[in-house]
Structure 1
Amino acid sequence: MSESMEQKLSQAMAELEAVQNAVAHAEGELSRATATVRSRDRVVEATVGPQGELTGLKFLDGKHQTMTGPQLAASILEAADEGRAQMARKVMDTFAPLAQVSGGASGVRGVDIDWERAFGSAFDGGAGSGMGRSAGDRLRDEIHEDEDDTLPRGR
């Protein structure tokens, strides 16, 4: 009876070590990952690192020179937010299989992943999945409101 328990424990330890190695490998791969995204208006190209940090920003074809500050800011935020969303999906896709419950006889469960540690502030708990409104959308609303600023105002 104890030999059977020792076999189960040995199998569980081997599964745990395999999962830990897979997590370490995934973290290593993701630490070098980036996402590069262009804004819809093709004015800005943003590169985002594995934790959602902005690592590069390019202004394309000089188009930014004819934009107002709020318009340019909206383009930058849009590209950066989409880059962060792409990285978040990549991280979750990479780690999702490791978080699944194992069907093995040992009963070892998948790892409990700390998404915040895996890719920092890019993890928004699903808010980037189309629910709610992004900062870029809110800024675009303000730009539309600001367009009326050219009209004379009374004091």
Structure 2
Amino acid sequence: MTIPLHNQVEQAMARLRATQDALGAAQRELAGTTTSSTARNRSVTVTVDGHGEISAITFPTGAYRSMAPAELGDLLVETIREARRTASATAVSLFTPLMPAGSRLGGLLDGELDLDGMIAEAIKVATAPLPGEQSGPADRDGRHA
């Protein structure tokens, strides 16, 4: 290994360690995060952890008592979704600075990106013949059909 190459490897390893440390810190911060969302009529509050899991549902007023079951159910679902959206936005804000430029972490978490399509395209590009190579499978002796 030449000295310049050795230095490049050491620099790359240092960058990798720094990125791993930053990711660990972001994960720890996210794990300690909670987000609460209160329904528009203030009858229910939902709290979720950093991963969007429900940790508490409270009823700050007695308004829920006069609601029809379907109305209360709809309100709970809406409030849970809002709390999870906010938790997701918090996660995106923590991890986006650590992602490569141009990556769309929010789109991935929101389901807006076609991850399967992205992977299929990457495999297609990676397995395509290089310029000047023959396409198609080779036999045991390396000859193309």
TM-score, structure 2 normalization: 0.69
2:20 maps to 1:20: yes
Structure 1 equivalent of residue 29 of structure 2: 29
2:111 maps to 1:125: yes
Alpha-carbon distance in 1 for matches of 2:58, 2:39: 11
Amino acid at match of 2:10: S
Amino acid at match of 1:17: R
5+ long unaligned stretches in structure 2: 114-145
Higher relative contact order (Cα pairs below 8 Å, separated by 6+ residues): 1
2:37 maps to 1:51: no
Tell me: CA distance 1:26–1:11, structure 2 relative to 1, closer, same or farther (3 Å).
Answer: same
CA contact (8 A) 2:30 2:51 kept: no
CA contact (8 A) 1:33 1:50 kept: yes
Amino acid at match of 1:52: G
Alpha-carbon distance in 2 for matches of 1:126, 1:61: 37
Identity of aligned residues (%): 29
2:67 maps to 1:81: no
Residues 58-77 of structure 1 mapped to structure 2, 5 A cutoff: 58-77=58-77
SS in 2 for 1:46: strand
TM-score, structure 1 normalization: 0.65
5+ long unaligned stretches in structure 1: 102-109, 117-122, 128-155
Answer with 1 or 2: which has the greater Rg: 2
Amino acid at match of 1:80: I
Alpha-carbon distance in 2 for matches of 1:74, 1:60: 17
Amino acid at match of 1:55: S
Structure 2 equivalent of residue 138 of structure 1: none
Alpha-carbon distance in 2 for matches of 1:19, 1:64: 47
Q: How much has 1:49 moved relative to structure 2?
A: 1.0
Runs of 4+ in 1 over 6 A off after TM superposition: none
Amino acid at match of 1:38: T
Q: How much has 1:125 moved relative to structure 2?
A: 2.0
CA contact (8 A) 1:41 1:75 kept: no
Alpha-carbon distance in 1 for matches of 2:47, 2:111: 21
Alpha-carbon distance in 2 for matches of 1:56, 1:100: 35
Measured on the aligned residues, the alpha-carbon RMSD in Å equals 2.4
Q: How much has 1:17 moved relative to structure 2?
A: 0.2
